[in-house]
Amino acid sequence: MKPILNLPLQVVYDQPCFCIQTEQINLAITRFGGQMAPVEFYADTDTPIMPYHIAPWWDKGLSADHPPLLHILRGDFFCCPFGGNETIYNGVQYPTHGESANRPWTLMDWQEDFEGAFLHLSQVQNLLSGNIEKKIYLIEEQNLVYSSHILSDMEGLINPGHHANLRFPDSPHSGRLAFSPFIHAQVYVQPTERPENKGYSILQPGAVITDLTNVPTITGEFTDLTTYPARRGFEDIVILCSDPSLDFAWSSVTFPEGGYLWLALKDPKILTSTLLWMSNGGRHYEPWNGRHVNVMGLEDITAFFHEGISESVNPNHLNDLGIPTAIPLTPEKPTSIHYIQGVVRIPKGFDRVADIKRRGENELVIISQNGRQVTLECKINFLYNGSTD
């Protein structure tokens, strides 16, 4: 398919963006890095919702020694390979979170009509020697974003992932987190940040977690990871390894005062884990400078924490437990990674998600801990076939 150029770029938060919309959603994706934000949900109401974070330095300009993704940092973006990638792998040094998060994307196709909106981008992979296609679908009367990333002409193992960054209100414990069942959970095995590098972490490195409300810290005390913002002044990372037997896995954050929840849906056989990046002022070096607060990355991945491709494709203690940390690619057949994320308004008194159940082909029921329910139109089969029909 030849690229087309009839969707003008718009400058949004200082970045040239591809923008599409429906009655319910206004969505921007940066040309560089393919980072998705801002996204305005319920745009047709008097109180639209914009859940994604945009880094506070968006209009300040960073020095050239910072990777492009940091200059842009916002919303959700696709990482391939996911992680820091500081270790050279097969003679290649990949950028942090891969070329997909650091290089420009080419517009291939787009459409807006009475049924919804569609955006198709593509990026040649110089280091992976292949191609990634990004397809975004919006459906009229829904406040969900359906995305597919198709990896083609690649061979070997790769550790991909989504990197959704949410902005929380500046009010302690205002967001309430909940997840589908997981088979393993653990604090990152090393200190996420170290004082000698002007960074601070509080969770006990390597701690295996059986209860998210009771997680050990380096002080000997315990903390609750199911509410946020929390632990101001610290930067921590935790991984939750999803139960692969589930039909679909989910992550959610309920904002009772805001009257909505954010959710993400995945196939746990494709994206095996969820990484929680809790960024609350624990980095005091450039460009963070203690000002990156009330942010959480809810990052659905198949990887060994955030270390990178070498650590993910080689033996590690997660894949020793039978938890895949990389997926195989073959040039004979493209690999597709499908994902759904969005927001839902909730009734007063809805406290926290207890479960998300499928009802028929195109409906979900979201149940709170205190028994309230919300129904949601959702083409859940998209996770398996990439189709919104």
**Distance of alpha carbon 60 from the chain centroid:** 24
Average pLDDT over residues 237-247: 98
Q: Examine residue 324 and state whether it is found in any structural domain, yes or no.
A: yes
Pick the closest to residue 383 from 252, 241, 264 (CA basis): 264
How far CA 354 is from CA of 164, 180, 296, 337, in Å, comes to 21, 9, 20, 26
Average pLDDT over residues 82-105: 97
Supply the CATH number for residue 190's domain.
2.70.98.10
Residue type, 315: P
Average pLDDT over residues 293-308: 98
Q: Please state, for a pLDDT cut of 90, what percent of the chain lies above it.
A: 96
3 compared with 227, residue with greater pLDDT: 227
Asked if residue 7 lies in contact with residue 18, where contact means CB atoms within 8 angstroms, the answer is: yes
pLDDT band at 4 (very low <50, low <70, confident <90, very high): low
pLDDT of residue 1: 42
Total count of domains within the chain: 1
pLDDT of residue 343: 98
pLDDT of residue 3: 52
Q: Examine residue 55 and state whether it is found in any structural domain, yes or no.
A: yes
Q: Examine residue 112 and state whether it is found in any structural domain, yes or no.
A: yes
pLDDT of residue 61: 87
- The whole-chain average pLDDT of the chain stands at 97
pLDDT band at 204 (very low <50, low <70, confident <90, very high): very high
Average pLDDT over residues 296-323: 98
Please give the angle made by the CA atoms of 74, 376 and 169, to the nearest 5 degrees: 35
User: Looking at the predicted structure, is the pLDDT value of residue 5 above 70?
Assistant: no
Measured CA to CA, the distance from residue 213 to residue 307 in angstroms comes to 26
User: Looking at the predicted structure, is the pLDDT value of residue 247 above 80?
Assistant: yes
Condensed to tens digits (0 to 9), the pLDDT of residues 132-183 reads 999 999 999 999 999 999 999 999 999 999 999 999 999 999 999 999 999 9
Asked if residue 100 lies in contact with residue 34, where contact means CB atoms within 8 angstroms, the answer is: yes
Q: Examine residue 193 and state whether it is found in any structural domain, yes or no.
A: yes
Average pLDDT over residues 263-267: 98
Does the reported pTM lie above 0.95? yes
Q: Examine residue 2 and state whether it is found in any structural domain, yes or no.
A: no
Segments forming the whole domain that contains residue 250:
10-385
Q: Examine residue 4 and state whether it is found in any structural domain, yes or no.
A: no
Measured CA to CA, the distance from residue 162 to residue 77 in angstroms comes to 6
DSSP string, 170-219: SSTT-EEEEES-EEEEEE-SS-SS-GGGTB---B-TT-B-S-TTSEEBTT
- φ, ψ of residue 81 in degrees (nearest 5): -80, 150
Q: Examine residue 3 and state whether it is found in any structural domain, yes or no.
A: no
- CB-count burial class (<10 Å; 0-12, 13-18, 19+) for 322: exposed
Average pLDDT over residues 232-240: 98
Structure tokens at 342: 């969005």
pLDDT band at 220 (very low <50, low <70, confident <90, very high): very high
Alpha-carbon Rg for the chain, nearest whole angstrom, is: 20
pLDDT of residue 386: 97
User: Looking at the predicted structure, is the pLDDT value of residue 104 above 90?
Assistant: yes
Structure tokens at 133: 């296609």
pLDDT of residue 6: 75
Q: Examine residue 120 and state whether it is found in any structural domain, yes or no.
A: yes
Asked if residue 356 lies in contact with residue 366, where contact means CB atoms within 8 angstroms, the answer is: yes
